[in-house]
Amino acid sequence: MSKFEFNGKCDLAFAVLSDLHMTHRGEGLQKLHQHFALYAKAVPALDAHVLSGDIVYQHDLSGGGSYDKVESSPYEYLRIVREKYAKDVPLIYAIGNHEFPQHNWEDDISRRAREMFTSHGYPLRDHQVIKGYHFITVPIQNYHQDVLPEDEIWAEHEIRSALRTSGDLPVFV
């Protein structure tokens, strides 16, 4: 595939990927590869990749049911693909409910899923500024998408701070 150019002038160029649902068995890996390969050819180069949750699917196979394991291989697949195509491009990754084992609300497995996410270098709370644009991620705690009061307080503080300093630029949460 040849390089492609964005139309018009823009201050910031970023790609958004959501709901890939990549399993430890490799489902979704081809689409992840296609996404990063496509945007590696963008002119000008992207300023960021935004993964807005459910990139990983903690389930044995696509479909219904529940799961009782936390798999690391989808995060390894992401690391390998990102290293190949976008190792120097900032990444914003918000944890989604499918980064937790499917239909499993146990506290211990939810804790292990959060630990797996962070052990691969993705903070649960994040506030990055790229070219003056603010990107804020707020964590959920489990498959139910519960948010802790202290995370809400943190998010409110970060959002207010971003709005004060961003001028007329949007703030992405």
Residue range 76-82: mean pLDDT, rounded: 98
Longest dimension (CA), the chain: 49
pTM (2 d.p.): 0.94
What pLDDT score was predicted for residue 9?
A: 78
Percentage of the chain beyond pLDDT 70 is: 98
Distance CA 117, CA 115 (A): 5
> What's the mean pLDDT in 63-85?
94
pLDDT of residue 104: 94
Instruction: Tell me what pLDDT residue 116 has.
Output: 98
Range in 38-47, 69-78, 105-114 with the lowest mean pLDDT: 38-47
Q: How confident is the model at residue 34 (pLDDT cuts 50, 70, 90)?
A: very high
- The pLDDT tens digits of the residues spanning 120-171 come to 999 999 999 999 999 999 999 999 999 999 999 999 999 999 999 999 999 9
Between the alpha carbon of residue 23 and those of residues 60, 87, 103, 128, 153, the distances in Å are: 7, 22, 15, 28, 33
- pLDDT value at 3 more than 80: no
Residue 5 has pLDDT above 90, yes or no: no
First to last CA, the chain: 33
pLDDT at 8 over 70: no
Q: How far apart are CA 60 and CA 27, in angstroms?
A: 10
- pLDDT value at residue 91: 98
